[in-house]
Structure formats: structure tokens, C-alpha cells
Amino acid sequence: MISDVLNPQELKKVDPVFGQLSFDNHEQVVFCNDKDTGLKAIIGIHNTTLGPALGGTRMWNYNNEWEALNDVLRLSRGMTFKSAITGLNLGGGKAVIIGDAKTQKTPELMTRFAEFVHSLGGKYITAEDVGMETADMDLVRETTPYVTGISEAKGGAGNPSPITAYGVFMGLKAATKYQFGTDQLEGKKVFVQGIGHVGETLVKHLTEEGAQVTIVDINQDRLLEVAKTYGATIYTGDNMYQEAMDIYAPCALGATINDATINQIQAKVIAGAANNQLAEEQKHGRILREKGIVYAPDFLINAGGIINVYAELEGYGKDEIIRKTENIYNTTLDILNKAENEDITTHQAALKMAQDRIETRKKENKK
């Protein structure tokens, strides 16, 4: 028997896809390979009960393929719940391209990727994510209609990041109200980790409301630029987690709330844009709850971007985009109250609400 001859590490590799924890009942996982352009991509389609699986394409220099697979599975699953809780008729999907976006992203590679997206016949619709720009989506659009996040000049809703930032700001304010009894940010100490497309606009909203914003990034040029533009303070220490702060806004990459950081975190509220902030959803969600730290679930408050690109499919305009994004404030408060009433974590409360919507639709579809 195979289990007699393989050690646990090798056993893990026996079930590389269906057996992965992050697989979590994905409907389909597509591996895309093209020797000529060097394309190596994975498309994850988690669930299409509510509609086609929509989610961005991330290009990242992963250390290995396991890391890329795990990332795409976690991200596409998150998209299912994000669209469900936001009330959109979309399923969850995501794609990753393995490689350095700065040096390996060529028009030929993106076009080949677009052909793979097209081959799925609309079951998966792509958009931009880390390592992608609106111009890349415009290029993909030349090959397939199954893309959103294209430029306004080409009939799209444009860059989703400012709307994502506005939604995060709404969720952050709601969580602040829940924790401190007021959503006024005047004088609140906020750390924004990652001041890229979303983080920078979040800094803008926060400083406009009088928050004392400290910024953290690995890109020194960005730090200087954003500090100068908005009067934010650059963090110069070597461990931001243990700094005294009211609010921590993770806007870089995921899993920053993990075994190493969770007992150091001084913030009373965590609300940011990054996907999959909790390294282990149940365990770290529970510890935050025990510590009295209010965690605004990432997939709920970073839904502005998907609201923006959904407008391209449904044909609604900017006013409706803003209205739907501002509603993140109310949904966040509902979730925080639900968690308290049901004695569960805020992440569990958000998941439950999303899953209920999917189950209800599943029953309706069967009728």
C-alpha cells in the first residue's frame, strides 16, 4: 500500500489538488501551460451557483508551484463568499500567473493567457489583481469578452482600486463605530501596511478625516511619495505589530495575522484590503475575538473592486457603484452584531451569511 512506503511529506503530495485543505470543493481547476511564451497559470473556479466565477488574475513570483496552487485556491474560494455576501450574482474564481510581473509579463504571454480564459466559454471571467494593470485587461479584451476591469476609454468601469479603497474605508469606519462607539477617526492612530493601488487611496480617506496615519511598505520610493502627498508618517521600526495603534489596515499581501504576529498585535480594530488576512481562519479568528480585537472580514470590506467590475456586466453607473460600496458600512455592522449575538467569530458570521445565500439559490435552482 502506498501509505506504507511514503513519509507524511510525500503523502501530502499524493493528493495534490482534491486533497488540499484549500481545495474546499472547487468545481474546476485549470492548469495553463505554454512553452513558447513561458506562460504557467492556474485558474481556480470555486463555485458558480450564483453566476459565472469572477475574480482577478494575480502575477507573482511564487517560490514554487505549491505556493501558487494554494494561493489561487484560497483566493477563488474567497471570491465566492465576497460576491455572495455583497449580493452580486457572481460565483467565485481567480487566476494566478507564475512569474515576475515586472520582467516576465509580455503581450504574447497575456494573449496566450486570454486564450485559455476564452476556452472556458465564460464560466470564468477575469479582472486585474496584484501585478496587473488596466492596460493588461484591455489587451486580454482583444482576445476574449470574458474580462472586466478594462479602461473607461474602452467602455469599462476603469481601475477598481479607488472603489476598493472606499469600501475598505466604509468597513473600517463601521468596525471603529462598533469598537469605540463612534466612527469619527479624528486622532485615531492607524497603521496602513502596503500603500499600493488600494492602500494609497485609503491613506487619502483616513488623513482627510484627521486620522494619524503611519505607513509601512517595502518600497521606499512609494513611502516617500505617499508621506509627502498626505502628510502620513513613515514607519521606521522593525516590527510594526507591537506598536501602539488603534487600527491596523493590512493592504499588502495575505496571512499577516498568523502564529507569529497574533499575540503582538496592539490594534483594537483590524480592517484592510488584503485578501485572506487570517493565516488560519478559525484559529486566528477565535484568538482575535478572545482578545477583544474587532476584525472586519476581508472579503466583506474589500468588495468595492468587484462591485465596480460587476457594473461592466450589469451596465449600472457610478452612482449605483457608490451606493453599493457605501452599503459595506451597514453589512459590516450587521456582521459584527451577528457574531456577538451568535457567539461566533466575525469571519464565521460573514461566511455563514454568504453560505446561506448560496444554499438558498441552490434550492431555487433545483425547483
Helix or strand run (H / E) with residue 125: strand 124-125
Is the torsion defined by CA of 282, 284, 216, 326 positive or negative? positive
Residue nearest to ligand NAD (CB): 196
Q: Work out how close the CB of 204 gets to ligand NAD at its nearest, in angstroms, rounded to a whole number.
A: 13
| Minimum CB distance to ligand NAD smaller for 217 or for 312 | 217
Q: Does 197 bind ligand NAD (CB under 6 A)?
A: yes
Residue 257 has which C-alpha cell?
495575522
| Minimum CB distance to ligand NAD smaller for 164 or for 176 | 164
Query: Which string of DSSP letters, residue by residue, matches 10-66?
Result: HHHHHSSSTTSGGGTT-SEEEEEEETTTTEEEEEEEEE-SSSSEE--EEEE--SSHH
Catalytic residue among 94, 123, 204, 324: 94
| Minimum CB distance to ligand NAD smaller for 274 or for 354 | 274
- Residue 68's alpha-carbon distances to 42, 60, 359, in angstroms, are 8, 8, 29
The stretch near ligand NAD (CB under 6 A) out of 17-25, 88-96, 133-141, 249-257 is 249-257
- Integer Cα distance of 355 and 353 in angstroms: 6
* Among 95, 195, 270, 278, contact with ligand NAD (rule: CB under 6 A): 195
Residue 79 has which C-alpha cell?
471570491
Q: Work out how close the CB of 95 gets to ligand NAD at its nearest, in angstroms, rounded to a whole number.
A: 13
Q: Does 202 bind ligand NAD (CB under 6 A)?
A: no
362 is catalytic: no
* Among 71, 183, 217, 312, contact with ligand NAD (rule: CB under 6 A): 217
- Helices and strands of the chain, counted as H and E runs: 13, 12
Q: Work out how close the CB of 27 gets to ligand NAD at its nearest, in angstroms, rounded to a whole number.
A: 22
Q: Does 79 bind ligand NAD (CB under 6 A)?
A: no
Is the torsion defined by CA of 89, 157, 133, 347 positive or negative? negative
First to last CA, the chain: 45
Q: Work out how close the CB of 163 gets to ligand NAD at its nearest, in angstroms, rounded to a whole number.
A: 7
Query: Residue 221 burial by CB count (10 A; 0-12/13-18/19+): exposed, middle or buried?
Result: exposed
Q: Does 156 bind ligand NAD (CB under 6 A)?
A: no
Residues numbered 288 to 317 that lie near ligand NAD (CB under 6 A) are: 302, 305
Q: Work out how close the CB of 129 gets to ligand NAD at its nearest, in angstroms, rounded to a whole number.
A: 6
- Integer Cα distance of 43 and 303 in angstroms: 20
Catalytic center residues? 94
- Residues making contact with ligand NAD (CB under 6 A): 129-130, 160-161, 164, 193-199, 216-219, 222, 251-254, 273-275, 302, 305
